[in-house]
Structure 1
């Protein structure tokens, strides 16, 4: 069966502002009743999170959702590799020339010689290193956070909000949350473990 998650990642938050932005969004989510104020053991991968609040259904589209959703929200602050969970990354796009580098073949198997430099970028970010590689097409150097992963398989950032086992988040709610992040650009990752 597995666990389903949706993570709204702020791709523009700096390390210096991530904690303040997280606190602002947490306050808004609590005051609006979307999550409860008292943290509990309701999330995967963190000690505690915020369970759904009395108005949580205003943030989701529960139609067609039959699984009970008692899990909560985990807020991650700090250098993190946010990922989509199962599977492998299929492709990555250069922010300079918009060329897409395919990391898998037609059978969806990773082409390790192509994947290796990108794997080092992701591993480096996770270990605290900024590994800059050149785009295979235009040869421009690309910062680790600037690559655009197909289906947002990876997002390298400092702030994310993970909703564990909630029905699909409403687009309006995702937009509202982004506004509380100083209108930073956000990415919605959806995945399953």
Structure 2
């Protein structure tokens, strides 16, 4: 069966601002009745720090018939991903050239030649090594940090603040759109998947 998740990542939050912004969003969600105020053990690997669905949970989702799980707030350097599978493609932030990362004859197998530089850059991002995060574009030759490349289907997002909703049905677009203004206009990325 597995566990499903949807994550909204603030890709502009700094390490210094993440905890404050995360608390601000949780306070909003509690005030709206979307999540419970008291942390609990309601999410996968939440160590008792999840927030269960609140009485007005249904205002955030398309179908409120399944109320299992809750919200987990990630604060700190995190590479967010879509769970199972591999990223299929990535687009250069400079020239918009697209790099296919999977083999054409085996669509779910990574192309090591194309994927290799990104794998190393992701490791560099995890370790906080700014120089190791850069990947050169095969088309324009310019390099950019891995967190600035645009991943197909938002397979990856990199940031210091993320909000993961575990086992909720699809989040409403209007609900997701509320996050950016509450985060000071920061750019957000939404991704989801299954473990």
Query: How do 1:1-193 residues align onto structure 2 when only pairs under 5 Å count?
Result: 1-47=1-47, 48-62=49-63, 68-106=66-104, 107-108=106-107, 109-130=109-130, 131-193=133-195
Q: Secondary structure at the match of 1:19?
A: helix
Q: Deviations over 1:50-94 (max 9, x none)?
A: 00001011000007x6xx332110000111000000001111110
Two-structure CA RMSD over aligned residues (Å): 1.2
**Residue aligned with 1:69, SS:** coil
Q: For structure 2, list consecutive stretches of 5 or more residues without a partner in the other structure.
A: none
Give the Cα separation in 2 of the matches to 1:70 and 1:104.
34
- TM-score normalised to structure 2 length: 0.94
Normalising by structure 1, we get a TM-score of 0.95
Which whole-Å CA distance do the structure 1 matches of 2:15 and 2:167 have between them? Answer: 28
What is the aligned residue count? 190
Q: Show structure 1 runs of 5+ residues with no match.
A: none
Secondary structure, in 3 states, of the residue corresponding to 1:156?
Answer: strand
